[in-house]
Amino acid sequence: MMDGIRDVREIIREEMVMRDRILEVLQEGSKTVPEIADAIEYPSPEVMYWVMGMRKYGYVTEDGQTDEGYFLYRPVKEEAK
């Protein structure tokens, strides 16, 4: 994991690079933001920015909710985009 708080602009700049890593993790099945963060070893707040961007542009969608209230995310099928 990385230490310290980074500028939001830095985080958003990495979205295209992180998209492939996040989609790779989601191929294993639906995951929450904290689970994705653990898998790619980045802080949850940064992963939330990337996942929300991916959701906005149709790369991922919600797939239910956990008992703790976290949303599960899964990749959107290519032909659906």
Select from 44, 51, 56, 57 the least CA-distant residue to 26: 51
Q: Taking the model in full, what pTM does it have?
A: 0.84
Q: Where are the domains of the chain?
A: 8-80
For the domain 8-80, what is the CATH code?
1.10.10.10
Q: What one-character-per-residue DSSP string does 18-44 give? A: HHHHHHHHHTT--B-HHHHHHHHTS-H
pLDDT in tens, 33-47: 999 999 999 999 999
Select from 62, 39, 51, 56 the least CA-distant residue to 14: 51
Per-residue tokens: 2: 């990385």
pLDDT in tens, 19-75: 999 999 999 999 999 999 999 999 999 999 999 999 999 999 999 999 999 999 999
